[in-house]
Amino acid sequence: MNIPDEATIKELYKAAEGTPLEVPILLASIGAMRRGEIAAATLDDIKDGYIHIHRAAALNEKQEQVIKEYPKTEGSDRYILLPDAVIQKIQDQGCVCSVGLTYISTMFPRLLRKVGIEHFRFHDLRHAFVSIAHAAGLPDAYIMERGGWSTTYTMTNVYRHTLTEDRKKQNEKVNNVFADLL
C-alpha cells in the first residue's frame, strides 16, 4: 500500500489547483471524507465552517450515481470543521463537488501520472489523514470522530500507517535516547 506523505500531499494540492479534483482531494485528505460522502455533499450541508456528512453517493446496478440519504455507518454521520481556505474554494465554485464518483475514480490516477506521483488510490487520502494526524500528535478520539469511525480498531488497524519521513524522525529520536545511555 502506498500511503502519501505530507510532501506528496502538498505536491498533489499544487497539481490539483483549479481543477475539478481540487476540492474532492482537499476534503478527502483534510476532512477524512469518503469519495461518496464528497460527491453527495451540498452547499446546504455547510454552516459556520462545518460540513455535515449525512449522505453518500453510490453507483447502482446500472453504474449510475444515486444519493443514499444516509452515510455508510451510523458513526459516519458527523460534522467536520474545515479550514477557511477550503470553505472559500467551495463557495467560489458554487458547489461542494462539481464531479461525480466515476470522474473522481477515472481522473485521479490520471492526475497522479501527469505530475509523476507514484500511484495510490483516492481512498488512500483518508489513510494519509489518519497517519499525518497521528504523527502530529492528535488524540485518537478526534481522529476517529473526523473520519467517522466508531471504534479504534478500524482506525488503528486499517488506516493508521507510519510515514517514511516520520519513521526516520522517530528512529533518530530512539537512537538519541539510547545514545545517551552509552
Measured CA angle at 102 (ends 5, 151), to 5 deg: 50
What's the fold here for domain 6-179?
Answer: hpI Integrase; Chain A (1.10.443)
pLDDT of residue 52: 96
Give this prediction's pTM. Answer: 0.82
pLDDT of residue 165: 61
Exposure of 81 in the CB half-sphere (CA atoms within 13 A): 3
Residue of 87, 83, 76 whose CA lies nearest to 34: 76
Q: Nine-digit cell at 146?
A: 473526523
pLDDT band at 134 (very low <50, low <70, confident <90, very high): confident
Which residue in this structure is represented by grid cell 494526524?
133
Domain boundaries, the chain: 6-179
**Residue 77, pLDDT above cutoff 60:** yes
Return the H-helix or E-strand segment holding 59. strand 56-59
**Residue 162, pLDDT above cutoff 70:** no
pLDDT of residue 86: 95
- Mean pLDDT across the chain: 86
What are the residues facing 79 on neighbouring strands? 52
**Residue 172, pLDDT above cutoff 90:** no
CA 70 and chain centroid, separation: 19
**Residue 138, pLDDT above cutoff 90:** no
Pairing state between β 78-81 and 46-47: unpaired
Under the phi-then-psi rule, with left for phi > 0, alpha for psi from -120 to 50, and beta for the rest, what region is 94? Answer: left
pLDDT of residue 142: 83
Sign of CA dihedral 62, 55, 87, 154: negative
Q: How far apart are CA 99 and CA 86, in angstroms?
A: 17
Least confident of 18-22, 79-83, 143-147: 143-147
